[in-house]
Amino acid sequence: MIVTLGHIALMGALVVSLLQPFIRRKGLATGLFALVSLSFAALVYAHASDDFSVLNVVENSHSLKPMIYKISGVWGNHEGSMLLWVWMLALWGFCVERAKKIPMGLKARVLAVQGMIGFGFILFILLTSNPFLRITPAPIEGMDLNPVLQDPGLAIHPPLLYTGYVGFSIAFCFAVAALIEKKVDSAWAAHLRPWVLAAWVALTAGIASGAVWAYYELGWGGFWFWDPVENASLMPWLAGTALLHSVAVLEKRNALGNWTIFLAILAFSFSLLGTFLVRSGILTSVHAFANDPARGIFILVLLTVAIGGAFLFYAWHAPKVKSGAGFGMVSREAALLLNNVFLFTFCATVLMGTLYPVFLSALDLGSVSVGPPYYMAVLLPLLLPFTLLMGAAPSVTWHKGSPAALLEKLSVPFMLTGMALVVLFTLPLRDKALSLLGCGMGGWVVVATLHDLWKKYGHKMPRSYYGMVDGDYMTPEKRWYPVDQKMTSEVALKMDGFSLLYLVMGEQDKDEPEKWVVRAYHHPLVLWILLGALMIAGGGLVSLTDRRRPS
């Protein structure tokens, strides 16, 4: 009964989402959220209660599975994850509808565009990915969840990632609404910025949690970087980071209006592209959800209509939008624009590396693997000037500044960083030149930021400014899953300051079965990676508490 109610609620949500673009009545977004929430809760109940009359439960659960994995297993498969995606979309729409300071006309247009997106994805679920399909007769037991997914990371990583992914839909809807109104100004940016910031914080935390999960789950003693599916979440993050800086310029100086609109469309476009890549089967990855060309074609059509339509609309209306105020070459606006150029280049590099093998395969021109050597060769030369810009940007004044004054402000950080580099390169680590250079670049950002904080000490600064700068046993395991007939490795981690000792069990000794090979890795300073991600997300949360902006 509850499962049937969930299915009916999802069909009701389809109707409400269809009405949302045409009926500007308050409460439709709330109704959509309530219906999708009821549908999602019904699927959670089916998994938690071991309802094996539901095909999705049979294929992804087991009665002996711990409750946390029964619940998180709801989104550990394609159908359930898509319902989570739509629930997040409805949640963001509900929050927009409840926001009091957004003008009613702008809010209505934002929710109308979001209703169109919701209709497309709910229709996709009902036609190709229905999680409420029944099976008769119901089997006694389920087929269990992939053992690799039976980890607390599944309860944390996808919800955070989807919150960020789908959150950029609000920026997309704001952009289309602004093009309809032909009005892009500081007030519009002030309404948009907290939504972009919230989505960006969630996506940052989602990517970081996914990196940690892969680090200890895959058991190979290294990091899971540059995987095509992981790149699918990195691209909207890069575009979203550029958008976050661009919307700040628009809010402060009423400049870069058209560029901000373009980035708002681009950030969500990459979110949709990531959804397509993960579910179409065109990429091979341990993180891919589905391998169904029919589903891929449906999402491709959605992607084409949404992205293609939005960019055509942008090309038509953007010339009618006022360009905004100008600024000097040495100014905070120019620095942030240059920052955008770097981020856009990084994003284009990742996009090319991700899709190039796909295009080669589609054209029957052979197969090629694009991995770390490509990204290192292309991105590393750009990171040095980008890092110099990161350290210098907080010291640049708005509108128009003086090169001499800027150099004077940065003289102390330059001197301290230079001294630190000299000391570093005197150490017996000449074969680690890139690592030393990386330490120097990071040191430059830290020193320059701390110096800027010190110079502004005593001045009343908004919280958004501070958000900008800011002996146990080890037991690695082998786990046997009898349903799947699989054995997985669970690593053991031990912190040593900011370093980690990483143990993983290898193969069983053939001559002495009671003995196992154990591989040990020592990863110096690896926790700085996680700390950096937490600081980035934490800075965004601090900025969200700034009450100067409307919500």
Q: What is the pLDDT of residue 474?
A: 66
Report CA-CA distances (Å) from 392 to 238, 396, 407, 415, 465: 20, 7, 9, 14, 15
Residues 447, 524: one domain?
no
For tokens 């059509």, what's the residue? 301
For tokens 């709330």, what's the residue? 30
**How many whole angstroms separate alpha carbon 290 and alpha carbon 296?**
9
Domain final position from 397, 423, 447: 397
Question: What's 510's DSSP letter?
Answer: S
Which residues sit opposite 502 in a β-bridge?
Answer: 493, 521
CB within 8 Å of 281: residues ≥ 6 apart: 288, 290, 291, 292, 293, 296
Give φ, ψ of 505 to 5 degrees.
-80, 135
What is the count of structural domains for the chain?
4
Is 463 among the domain residues?
Answer: no
Residues 381, 432: one domain?
no
What is the three-class DSSP state of 341? helix
Question: What's 521's DSSP letter?
Answer: E
Residues 481, 418: one domain?
no
> Is-contact 469 394, C-beta < 8 A?
yes
Mean pLDDT of successive 10-residue stretches along the chain, which has 551 residues: 95 96 87 97 96 95 92 93 96 94 92 95 94 93 86 91 94 94 89 94 91 76 72 92 91 87 94 80 56 74 89 86 69 84 91 85 76 85 85 77 76 79 70 71 78 67 65 66 73 74 77 76 76 80 70 46
Structure tokens, 523: 């990863």
Q: What is the pLDDT of residue 471?
A: 47
Is 212 among the domain residues?
Answer: yes
Residues 143, 162: one domain?
no
Residues 207, 301: one domain?
yes
**The domain containing residue 389 runs over which residues?**
152-397
Residues 185, 279: one domain?
yes
Q: What is the pLDDT of residue 441?
A: 78
* Residue 108: half-sphere exposure toward Cβ, Cα within 13 Å: 11
Domain final position from 150, 170, 200: 150
**How many whole angstroms separate alpha carbon 527 and alpha carbon 523?**
9
Residues 159, 256: one domain?
yes
> H/E element holding 507?
strand 499-508
> Is-contact 500 494, C-beta < 8 A?
yes
Q: What is the pLDDT of residue 456?
A: 66
**How many whole angstroms separate alpha carbon 357 and alpha carbon 246?**
32
Which residues sit opposite 504 in a β-bridge?
Answer: 519
**How many whole angstroms separate alpha carbon 275 and alpha carbon 128?**
15
Domain final position from 150, 179, 202: 150
> Is-contact 246 259, C-beta < 8 A?
yes
